[in-house]
Amino acid sequence: MSSNAEIERRIGNDYQAGFVTNIESDTLAPGLDEDVVRFISAKKGEPEWLTEWRLKAFRAWQEMVEPDWAHVTYPKPDFQALSYYSAPKSMADKPKSLDEVDPELLATYEKLGIPLHEQMALAGVAVDAVFDSVSVATTFREKLAEAGVIFMPISEAVHEHPELVKKYLGSVVPQRDNFYAALNSAVFSDGSFVYIPKGVRCPMELSTYFRINEAKTGQFERTLIVADEGSHVSYLEGCTAPMRDENQLHAAVVELVAMDNAEIKYSTVQNWYPGDKEGKGGIYNFVTKRAVAHTNAKVSWTQVETGSAVTWKYPSCILKGDNSVGEFYSVALTNNFQQADTGTKMVHLGKNTRSTIISKGISAGKSQNAYRGLVRMNPNAEGARNYTQCDSLLIGDQCGAHTFPYIESKHPSAVVEHEATTSTVSDDQLFLCRQRGIDTEKAVSMIVNGFCKEVFKELPMEFAVEAGKLLEVSLEGSVG
């Protein structure tokens, strides 16, 4: 396999977001007990009910066991060795405007290509920047407020819109949902809160950018998006972390609520530090993402996963209302020693609910890439429809690609279709390209891009370009 050797050579590891920002931080000593939970809650000045809510989650978490059914192996994180809160010191006295924000922080985001100055920002994208445990800045808040859209860090929303937060927090992912969701519920630090009022089409793309900076910390953000009746929102999420030899934990929870006739489009470009070529370091990405779609609502998850040492992530849709629609488009790329177990769950409860799953897995190097999905047609899901396609591409003979689809149907009129294929970049394909004067590197890049096309076209335009580049960089050296 000469072409494979070429591919191997080309998959380098050029992680451009791997720098550390030199900034003083307030970091809580490692360890986790009820006092830590109380400390985080107090630090955020949270009301009593939320402190109790966290403690309830913490107590539940203590009784839970870390799940081991996923097709990944890693040393279990020591939860007592982690720090659960870290914030840049300069954020302690809440800067009133962007001008007061530490320039070092702004420079960090600048370097990552996320300008926070509104005049410089891409028109039409509002950004909430989360740095370790706190939100640094949220742009375009006033402009969004004009439309009635609430877009702010969840820690502020707790104070400003307690009724909304109280009503929806944990309504999609309850505290005891699973091990990591329970942990997150207990110690979640910051994240974004979005509320789109009835009938409003959000005037711009909303976006959150997560950055882990401090060593030996975990990031536990919580995002809650509520789209009220007939509204529409498109939300983007990006993430990076410095290159470090130790594994860092990221356990987030994302809850989406799409009321009747609402539409939520949630896109993720996940580029946490994947570890080095020997598999040292990298982020453990254990995320719970779930959406509830009410009558005629539509929820669409799009994800491009190239980072993280270990990924455990299943963005799901509960299609509760009649005629609701769920979509899942995913490209998951693993290289070197990365491991990913990712997929989706589509639970059809309502009549005529529809779901589409397109999953593209690419494994290179010595990585393991698994798709795990569930399609469930409940006894009331009359006329429900699902189409699933999951394709895997293997590059190199030491990686693995796996598919574990669960299909459960209890209604005769529900139609479920599942297709999966696994193949490699074939010598024939490469030959065809090379014969036409395209060098091996370009040819593989073309083939991989073509393989992912169906998913990329679902991404917002800027992201699609970004994702294409990201894929190219991540694959560098593996594809020939």
Partner 1 sequence: MAEQFQTQQLALANSVAQLPLLTTLNAQGREAFAEAAMPTRKTEAWKYTSLTALLANEYGAPAVAGSNEQLTAAATINGLDAARLVFVNGQLSNELSDALALQQVTLFSQANDGQQALISEKLNSVLTQAQGSEHLFNDLNNANVNEGVLIHVGKNERLQQPLQISYLTTQNANPFAVTARILLVMETGADATVVEHYGSDEHAQVNFTNALTEILVGDNARLQHYRLNLMQEESLHIGSTHIDLGRDSQYNAFHLALGSRITRSDLVVNHNKGGSHCEISGVYIPQNQQLVDFHTCIEHKVAHCTSNEVFRGIMNDKAKAVFNGRIHIHPQAQKTLAELSNKNLLLTNSAEINTKPELEIYADDVKCAHGATVAQLDEKGLFYLRSRGISKREAEVIMSFGFINELLEALPDEAITNLLRPILAQRFGREQDLALHLLENEAAGIAGENA
Which residues form the interface with partner 1 (CB under 8 A)?
A: 1, 4, 69, 71, 377, 379, 392, 394-424
Run of H or E residues at 229:
none
Cα 166 to the center of its chain, rounded Å: 23
CB of 392 to partner 1, least distance (A): 7
Q: SS3 helix, strand, coil % of the chain, rounded to 5? A: 25, 35, 40
Our CB check for partner 1 shows the closer of 51 and 409 to be 409
CB of 256 to partner 1, least distance (A): 27
CB of 125 to partner 1, least distance (A): 38
What DSSP string describes 195-207? EE-TT-B-SSEEE
* Cα distance from N-terminal residue to C-terminal residue, the chain: 11
Our CB check for partner 1 shows the closer of 213 and 355 to be 355
Our CB check for partner 1 shows the closer of 214 and 391 to be 391
CB of 375 to partner 1, least distance (A): 9
CB of 247 to partner 1, least distance (A): 24
CB of 362 to partner 1, least distance (A): 11
Alpha carbon distance 75, 4 (integer Å): 30
What interhelical angle do 440-456 and 427-435 show, nearest 10? 110
Q: Report angle CA 149, 128, 258 to the nearest 5 degrees.
A: 45
Alpha carbon distance 240, 274 (integer Å): 10
Alpha carbon distance 400, 338 (integer Å): 11
CB of 329 to partner 1, least distance (A): 20
Our CB check for partner 1 shows the closer of 232 and 418 to be 418
- Tokens coding 127: 């950004």
Our CB check for partner 1 shows the closer of 160 and 419 to be 419
Our CB check for partner 1 shows the closer of 7 and 154 to be 7
Our CB check for partner 1 shows the closer of 57 and 479 to be 479
- Tokens coding 218: 């975990």
Our CB check for partner 1 shows the closer of 306 and 378 to be 378
Q: How many CA atoms lie within 13 A of 286 on its CB side?
A: 22
The 10 Å Cβ neighbour count of residue 144 is 21
- Tokens coding 49: 């009910």
CB of 87 to partner 1, least distance (A): 41
199 φ/ψ sector (left φ>0, alpha ψ -120 to 50, else beta): left
